[in-house]
Amino acid sequence: MTNSVSKKRLALFASGRGSNGEALYKAMQEGLINGEFVVIITDHADAGIVERSKGWGIPLIAIERSQFDSKQAFEQAQLDALEPYCVDGIVLAGYMRIVGVGLIARYEHKILNIHPSLLPKYPGLHTYQRALENGDSEHGTTVHFVNEEIDGGAIVLQAKVPIFPGDTVEEIELRTREQEYHIYPLVIKWFVEDRLKLIENQAYLDGKPLPPNGYANE
């Protein structure tokens, strides 16, 4: 049924291993998401996503900050690289840089990210370690829209995982990633079907405003 509607064109931004990107790509190949990645942007030429995406048939462009004299020039290069692909949205999956204001302005309300914590708790880096050090009994992951605040955009969907006595950072990360592979494809599915919108920093699904912590977290 979704095949009768043209596929949304998406850009994938990734800095690391690319496992979330691969989960999304597989969901697209299986027809679960009526969209396609038309370009991959990475800020590390040796990132795992480079090797992982070989065989996908998707152009990959490495734009490293060290190649440019200023942050503005770096961000302009990203904009210039994206322009020919006419993307409908940007999906951040393990992208470890703060998204520039120019990119946010150009693709307003069209950038989504997944962050390994139950936002607004633990924005930024080292979320698993922080949860462990603080003695938390649960952790999780959050899909959210991107704005100029670090990990501060409107929350769409969260998934929680338990932290057991004696857990290591690696065990918490593995448990969290398994949830990410389920919830991120679902949110991107909503996005490409135009069911998910951002209006005045409020996320809406099927025309109804989502609660502060996202869908099913009222």
Asked whether residue 1 carries a pLDDT value surpassing 70, the answer given is no
For residue 140, give Cα distances in angstroms to 61, 114, 145, 148. 31, 11, 17, 23
Give the mean model confidence (pLDDT) for residues 78-98.
97
Cβ of 103: how many Cβ atoms within 10 Å? Answer: 18
pTM, rounded to two decimals: 0.95
Cβ of 41: how many Cβ atoms within 10 Å? Answer: 23
Asked whether residue 140 carries a pLDDT value surpassing 60, the answer given is yes
For residue 122, give Cα distances in angstroms to 26, 115, 131. 29, 9, 8
Residue with structure tokens 């003695």? 135
Residue with structure tokens 């649960």? 138
CATH class of 2-120+139-160+181-209: alpha beta
**Given pLDDT bands bounded at 50, 70 and 90, which one contains residue 2?**
very low
Asked whether residue 169 carries a pLDDT value surpassing 80, the answer given is yes
Catalytic machinery residues: 115
Give pLDDT tens digits for 142-160. 999 999 999 999 999 999 9
Q: How far apart are CA 127 and CA 57, in angstroms?
A: 33
Give pLDDT tens digits for 29-60. 999 999 999 999 999 999 999 999 999 999 99
Q: What one-letter code names the amino acid at 90?
A: I
Cβ of 77: how many Cβ atoms within 10 Å? Answer: 17
Asked whether residue 105 carries a pLDDT value surpassing 80, the answer given is yes
